[in-house]
Amino acid sequence: MEHTLPHTISLLSRTPAALDALLRDLPEAWTLRNEGENSWSAFDVVGHLIHGERTDWIPRARIILQFGETKAFEAFDRWAQERESQGKSLGQLLDEFARLRSENLGELHALNLRQADLERRGRHPALGPVTLSQLLATWATHDLTHIHQISRIMAHQYREAVGPWNAYLGVLQCAGHSAP
């Protein structure tokens, strides 16, 4: 389907509560384990989502609106959460994600974007020209990619426990397309 701002906002506004319902107060055996070397735990993923709220989506939207294609976005640090999540609990990260997302949706609303704005182009440092519409659709789809990843990371912890049902569970066949 075409990108529309109301559809994007409807998804973006639900992700923090969905992750909260899934992850808060789960045993750490589910939330702190990863899929092996250089992979992320659910805890790491929530930290990554927080870093995106701070440095990626709204800041990039502002760059497009202010500079168009004349200024490329800053590259995104995919490992920032290693520093930034240190010493925090998963509950604190979930609270922080919900607060930042809510603030950013407020900022998005305040931009009062029209169709002509959504068609404006910016410049991604690796991908080249992209539109504001594509950036906002990617914000929502990026949430989904990480819900997809979290379900896969957690399922991995029961890979042996399910025994022969392994063959029937799609999530256990997933090769981790978003792994670093």
| List of residues contacting a second copy (CB under 8 A) | 1-3, 6-7, 10-11, 14-15, 17-23, 26-27, 29-30, 33, 124, 127-128, 130-131, 133-135, 137-138, 140-142, 144-145, 147-149, 151-152, 154-155, 157-158, 160-165, 167-174, 176-179
**Least distance from C-beta 45 to a second copy, angstroms?**
11
The sign of the CA dihedral 42, 124, 80, 37 is: positive
**Least distance from C-beta 110 to a second copy, angstroms?**
23
**Least distance from C-beta 82 to a second copy, angstroms?**
19
CB under 8 Å to 152, separation ≥6 — which residues? 35, 171, 174, 176
d(CA 101, CA 171) in angstroms, rounded, equals: 28
**Nearer of residues 66 and 178 to a second copy, judged by Cβ:** 178
**Least distance from C-beta 24 to a second copy, angstroms?**
8
User: Which pair of structure tokens corresponds to residue 113?
Assistant: 């974007």
Instruction: Residue 50: name the closest of 4, 102, 11 by CA.
Output: 102
Instruction: Residue 123: name the closest of 112, 134, 114, 113 by CA.
Output: 134
**Nearer of residues 18 and 111 to a second copy, judged by Cβ:** 18
**Nearer of residues 17 and 111 to a second copy, judged by Cβ:** 17
**Nearer of residues 87 and 135 to a second copy, judged by Cβ:** 135
User: Which pair of structure tokens corresponds to residue 35?
Assistant: 């899929």
